[in-house]
Structure 1
Amino acid sequence: MKKLDLSKQEKEIVDQALQHWCEQKLLEEDKVRELQENIDERSFEWKVLARYAFWVALASLIFSVVSLFADDMLVRFVEQFYETPNIVFCLFFAGLAVAFYILGFRNKKRYPDKTFSNETLMLSGAFSTAASIGFLGQILDRNTHYFTILFFISILIYAVLAVKLKSKLIWVFTLVALGVWFATETALHSEWGWKFWGMNFPLRFTIFGALLIAFSIWIQPRWSALLEFQSTSFVIGLLYTMIALWCLSIFGNYSDFEAWTQIRQYEILYWGLLAIAVSLALALYGLKKKDAVLRDIGFVFFLLNLYTRFVEYLWDNINRTIFFLVLAISFWLVGRWSEKIWKKQSTS
């Protein structure tokens, strides 16, 4: 009989579950032993090593490019290309991207089980695509619509790759590119000012994130090709919203830095209260529905917003010793509260 191959951590979880069911008289001891004997502990996490190895490879590639500009001899060599037209670099990276995509699709067809190596090739193609589009942007006038169309093209490329490869990582690139396109498109319509339809960037991205969440909940499930990316879209949309709302609670809907420095923070307190209310509601809803993602994001941003307000209103108004003492006590209380929840969950 073929045994179930589990990692050490997975085996410990299964053993705990079997022991719990045995104590609750849901399984006989003999049956528990029989099930435990059918489990093999994986000797080494080769899958994890492969993932980290490819990540390190990509990081090393980036560092190698950075090091290129730190080496005097190579700097002199690169300086020879300063007069090279941007169109040459654009075409070079476009060709490099095509080469990576061809290799990636060929590898996926021949070796579909080599997930990490296939995704690494595709990610390299994605980076090359971004570089090519970046140089093309240098050629075009940014005050024309062609400039924003470039970012829209990158969205289409990443989306097609994500669907073809069923890659959630590349789908994240798609949503990031979508955010960049949204920022440039609205900035273009506002003549590269900070406000668009009376909204600064934090307020715009708060709405943008909310729309992305709505898309993931009500529209995305209707497209079978995008269904598996629903949770990814929801989380990215939630992060867009919560980060933008946190920035909004600090800067308000101001687009002028000098105007913002002239106001007192209590004048935009309503944005802070909204950010706290939304994050707290998210954390409570996550606890109620036992959704770890909603709970964790809500709880993190609840604390972030709470301590942001704490710093805003008390930093200049109380003694530094008392400030950090209150801060230490508050974190200790949060730790105690978290510990109680953890103990309750572990004993229930």
Structure 2
Amino acid sequence: MNIDREKAEFLDEMIDYWQQESIIEEETAKKLKSSYETKAFDWRKLAQYSIYIALACGVFALGSLLIDDEILNFIYQIYDAPNYVISLLSFAIAAWILHRGNKRRIILPKQQFTNEALLFIGVMLIANGLAYLGKSFQGNTDRYSTIFLMAIPVYAFLGYFFKSRLIWAFALFSLGAWFGTESSYLSRSNFYFLGMNYPLRFVCFGAILTALSFTLKNIKKHQFLFQTTYFIGLLYSFSALWLLSIFGNFASIDQWYQVNQIQLFAWALLSISICIITLFIGFKFKDEMAREFGATFLIINLYSRFFEYFWDSWHKALFFFILAISFWLIGRKAEKIWNLEFLKK
């Protein structure tokens, strides 16, 4: 069996550890090590990065086409067409691409990245179609939340129908975009909605989405949506919580500039406390995602506080020296864990 280098190193270390602890004999260890081989090259990663680069190059190619005068004139002619025509054309192409992508997933399930790339292109075309459909209905109005609202059921249905976590993720991002734009519209663009600025309201939004994700976990036919919903809910919550620790519940940058950093200490303490609690929950219930979010954003929060409190008051040489020492200690600890030294007596 051919496996990745990282997995082979891990298995080697575990087998050596079992042999040292007399759990297995030397002959058994040799037999286990001979049962697998290290891949000479990780083709899976090459395929993944190549598909991503291809999508990026496609975007750049499109940008380059827009510089050409002949292409621009052709696009202007297309844009003279009614919005609903462009919308229907986008939906038609998207439907064909999604059909092809889903068919490939059934026939060629191992070509995961190519299949997901096709679904991604289809999703982008749906977004374009919804945008023009919204323009045809709304005219010159600036209430963009309607477009995001239309996208939610479309992406949710397609994500569930195609069993695609990627499309389901777009449904959740559309839901977040709708919530942000609609709450801004209802607050008449004064940056507060029910007394909350953007970071605080998205902390609440992410917490609700995270809680709702567990209802998907408890329904067997919806369980494949749990991890994506859980991840995006935590992403909303912790990203907004980190911004809240920096800006507090202030409505504008002008108000924020007028306050001292110590006045934001309560928000910073709340953010750090939630990270620690999430990290503890992750370890206690063996929840890897909660553990990683808690640990990652705890480090981000601590370093953010370090920059806030000491950037202006400390000499820059001392500042970066302490920063270097801290990262070195984190690297040493991570290296020990990676080398499984915590298993040794």
Fold in common (TM above 0.5):
yes
Whole-angstrom distance in 1 between the partners of 2:180 and 2:147: 13
Deviation by residue 1:100-130 (Cα, 9 ceiling, x = unmatched): 1222233334444443333222211111011
Matched, 1:65 2:66: no
Partner of 2:319: 323
Partner of 1:181: 178
Partner of 1:154: 151
Q: CA deviation at 1:60?
A: 2.0
Secondary structure of the residue aligned to 1:253 is coil
Partner of 2:272: 276
Number of equivalenced pairs:
344
Whole-angstrom distance in 2 between the partners of 1:275 and 1:304: 10
**TM-score (normalised: structure 2):** 0.86
**TM-score (normalised: structure 1):** 0.85
| Contact 2:143–2:185 (8 Å) recurs in 1 | no
Give the fraction of aligned pairs with identical amino acids, expressed as a percent: 36
What's the RMSD between the two structures over aligned residues?
3.0
Secondary structure of the residue aligned to 1:316 is coil
Q: CA deviation at 1:264?
A: 1.9
Matched, 1:225 2:221: yes
Whole-angstrom distance in 1 between the partners of 2:144 and 2:311: 44
Uncovered stretches (5+) of structure 1, i.e. residues with no partner? none
Q: How does 1:294-333 map to 2 (within 5 A)?
A: 294-333=290-329
Partner of 2:21: 24
Whole-angstrom distance in 2 between the partners of 1:302 and 1:41: 36
Distance 1:284 1:109, change over 3 A: closer
Partner of 2:260: 264
Q: How does 1:173-252 map to 2 (within 5 A)?
A: 173-217=170-214, 219-252=215-248
Whole-angstrom distance in 2 between the partners of 1:200 and 1:120: 36
| Contact 1:7–1:42 (8 Å) recurs in 2 | yes
| Contact 1:283–1:296 (8 Å) recurs in 2 | yes
Q: CA deviation at 1:194?
A: 1.7
Deviation by residue 1:286-312 (Cα, 9 ceiling, x = unmatched): 455555433332222222222222222
Deviation by residue 1:54-104 (Cα, 9 ceiling, x = unmatched): 222222222211222234553454344454443332222122211212222
Moved more, 260-269 or 123-132: 260-269
| Contact 2:242–2:271 (8 Å) recurs in 1 | yes
| Contact 1:190–1:196 (8 Å) recurs in 2 | yes
Give the counterpart letter for 2:231 in structure 1.
V
Whole-angstrom distance in 1 between the partners of 2:321 and 2:282: 31
Deviation by residue 1:143-189 (Cα, 9 ceiling, x = unmatched): 98995343233222323333333333333222212211221232232
Give the counterpart letter for 1:55 in structure 2.
Y
